[in-house]
Chain A
Amino acid sequence: MPKFNALHLVLPAVWVGLLSTIAPVHAEETVHLYNWNDYFAENTLEEFQKKTGIRPVLDLYDNNDVLEAKLFAGSSGYDVVFPTARPFGARQIKAGLYQPLDKSKLPGLDQLDPAVMASLKELDPDNAHLVPYLLGTTGLGINVAKVKAALGPDAAIDTWAILFDPAQAAKLKSCGISILDDATEAFAAALAWLGKDPNSRVSDDLDAAAKALKDARKSIRYFHSSQYISDLANGDLCVAHGYSGDILQARSRAEEAAKGVTVSFQIPREGAVLATDVVAIPKDAPNPAAAHAFIAYLLEPAVIADITNHVKYANANPAATPLVAEAVRTDPGIYPTEAVRQKFIVLKTPSDKQLRDLNRRWTRIKAER
């Protein structure tokens, strides 16, 4: 055996690593962001750094639960986070995880859509902690050609029946169905399909919804909150229960790839969950001043319009709407018509006990037990 000591190789690397983590602290100010995957425009962060000199550091998640676990553990090290307002933001405010905003540093705040602000006041009195970021719905991503081939050319695709009618789901099984790995979303969809209150916590309603999900379970390929984006775009999935912007991004990717995959986003006629994602500053944020600077930057109409163009989610800033590309502004999947809006489901925050019950049912459904 040749004489070789791995330490000789490793130690210098360790030192270089340590030095590089220490050095930039003095060199420049940073703001640590924790956001959903694919949730900024391509140049959002670059422009912010050019404008303010603050270097943004971005980490990604695809699931509210992951963000919430980090916030509850404490000392997450993040300055700005992007939770979904209901039920997550509401619960996190109750647990005291966010610091109140200094509104004098957020000049664009009063321009935001009063209806959205009023709706957020229900869970955040005086809009003290949360700033609306983007609005989306949860619907169905459909590979039109494959679904029509399986169900017939006249089959309706704007309905939850595609997931919950066992006969239809069985026909789609081989080409692939995915459901969001989120108990609240899945139960809301099943309850809407059954024609019941999507916020119902009555045991009988939940039993019925669980049965619908269990029946559908046999035909479902996986439960995941982001994998469907690429699978839908590649033609590896036929039907995905997912977030509007994610499905519309899959549609764009499929168009760019030009491999003959056509993805369509459908808001089911029985009703779909309307979600508001918000911006907030954790209580223990290391750099709240930079966090405020970043939120103020997101409140600029041109910035948020650019983000909407890129990620295909509507924003809550009416001043930005004229700056949004016409194709995006007139897309009913992004800016839905009034008739569709009437059917939107606004989730209520379950109590801890209800959440536990919901999650236990969800684990059983997923495990098919």
Chain B
Amino acid sequence: MHKLLAKLRLRDRHLARLVNIGAPYLWLGLFFLLPFAIVLHISLAETALAQPPYTSLWEWVDDGILQIRLNLQNFSTVFHDELYLAAFLNSLGVALVGTVLCLLIGYPMAYAIATAPERWRVVLLMLIILPFWTSFLIRVYAWISILKPNGLLNHLLMGLGVIDAPLTLLHTQTAIYIGVVYSYLPFMILPLYANLTRLDFSLLEAAADLGCRPFKAFLKVTLPLSLPGLVAGSMLVFIPVVGEFVIPDLLGGPDNLMIGNMLWTEFFGNKDWPLAAALTLSLLGLLVAPFVLMQRLERRIEGEPS
């Protein structure tokens, strides 16, 4: 009897462990692997005038023979057409510049919040988070009415006598940067803030006692210690901006070609789901490499004894 109970308890524990480990795997399988498999499947198909608009990869021909047709044309198109490469490079460029701008603006802000008196911190953080309560789409739309030729900004600048004729801001690369920095700045500030609040400021006092000037102390102490937050914030900005569609579509001009817009054209304009899928997978492949690299860097930093 005793033995049986012990056995049961052991089985329960096995079950609990299985559930514990299984749940994340199930989640990953359901929401990452399965969609990935579907996209891979579509990328190897051919377009068809049907619902859905692509062919099936397999077909039973008579006598129990399963015929599988894989179309690799889509991938070769993606890599041989310089238009996609140009869009990809432009996306990377926008993401890089956007990340650097977010960093330059976000770091001082995060530092200021982290070093502010306790009762101010909550208020300042709320001010960073508050815009999220409005839809992202509406916030980007609002920039249209600020930046357009007859918009708020031009009226303000002309009213102040700074400029005589309206500036062309909307539908330019500048407008995209404004949109990117505005939309993604909180993603840079929040991880940096989380990191900087844990900073032991007595280390800076120690540096000062040892004769280190404040700027050098920042470079030697604060910056290295905040590197994990910096890397996390940069990744949170960089990765979504590469695939950004809404900002270039609403604020950018037609020559600010980004990979998100190319996907839209393939999917909607050309009704070429297989090519769109191949483009997505290629993008994923090209992005995963630097991502893994950055993660390794992060792990090395965190692994360092502090």
Contact = CB atoms under 8 A, between A and B. Distances in A.
Interface string A336-369: 0000000000000000100110011011101111
Nearest to A175: B149
Interface stretch (A92-100, A136-144, A152-160, A262-270): A92-100
Contact of B52 (A74, A352, A355, A368): A74
B257 interface: yes
A231 B145 CA distance: 11
Contacts of B267: 69
Nearest to B86: A369
B265 A72 contact: no
A66 B49 contact: no
Interface of B: 47, 49-53, 82-83, 86-87, 148-150, 168, 171, 253-255, 257, 262, 265, 267-272
A363 B171 contact: no
B269 A94 contact: no
A313 B97 CA distance: 46
Task: State the main secondary structure of chain B at its contact with A.
Answer: loop
Contact of B148 (A95, A236, A367): A236
A335 interface: no
A220 B171 CA distance: 11
Chain A interface, >50% SS class: helix
Nearest to A183: B269
Nearest to A234: B150
B254 A356 contact: no
8 contacts: A68-B268, A73-B51, A74-B51, A220-B254, A360-B270, A363-B83, A366-B255, A367-B83
Contact of B268 (A66, A95, A97, A355): A66
A176 B87 CA distance: 25
A253 interface: no
A94 B268 contact: no
A48 interface: no
A215 to B, nearest CB: 15
Nearest to A362: B269
Contacts of B255: 366-368
B248 to A, nearest CB: 12
Interface of A: 63, 65-66, 68-69, 71-74, 91, 94-97, 174, 176, 183, 220-223, 231, 234-236, 283, 352, 355-356, 359-360, 362-364, 366-369
B148 A223 contact: no
Contacts of B49: 91, 94-95, 352
A222 B53 CA distance: 30
B93 to A, nearest CB: 15
B175 to A, nearest CB: 11
Given A94-B49, A96-B51, A221-B171, A359 B265 contact: yes
Given A236-B150, A359-B270, A367-B83, A221 B253 contact: yes
A355 B265 CA distance: 12
Contacts of B171: 221-222
Nearest to A363: B265
Contacts of A174: 168
A171 to B, nearest CB: 15
B27 to A, nearest CB: 18
A185 to B, nearest CB: 13
A367 B86 CA distance: 10
In this complex, the member of B50, B82, B257, B269 whose beta carbon has the largest number of chain A beta carbons within 10 angstroms is: B269
B265 A68 contact: no
Nearest to B275: A356
A319 to B, nearest CB: 36
A68 B253 CA distance: 25
Given A96-B50, A222-B171, A352-B47, A69 B270 contact: no
B83 A71 contact: no
Given A235-B150, A359-B270, A95 B51 contact: yes
A359 B269 contact: yes
Contact of A363 (B149, B150, B168, B269): B269
Contacts of A352: 47, 49
Contacts of B257: 367, 369
B51 A68 contact: no
- Chain A to chain B: the 3 pairs with minimum beta-carbon distance, closest first: A366-B254, A65-B268, A367-B257
A178 to B, nearest CB: 10
Nearest to B151: A236
B253 A222 contact: yes
A366 to B, nearest CB: 4
Among A65, A68, A283, max chain B CB count under 10 A is at A65
Contact of A356 (B82, B150, B272): B272
B271 A364 contact: no
A115 B300 CA distance: 75
Contacts of A235: 150
A78 to B, nearest CB: 14
A355 B53 contact: no
Contacts of A363: 83, 262, 265, 269
B164 to A, nearest CB: 13
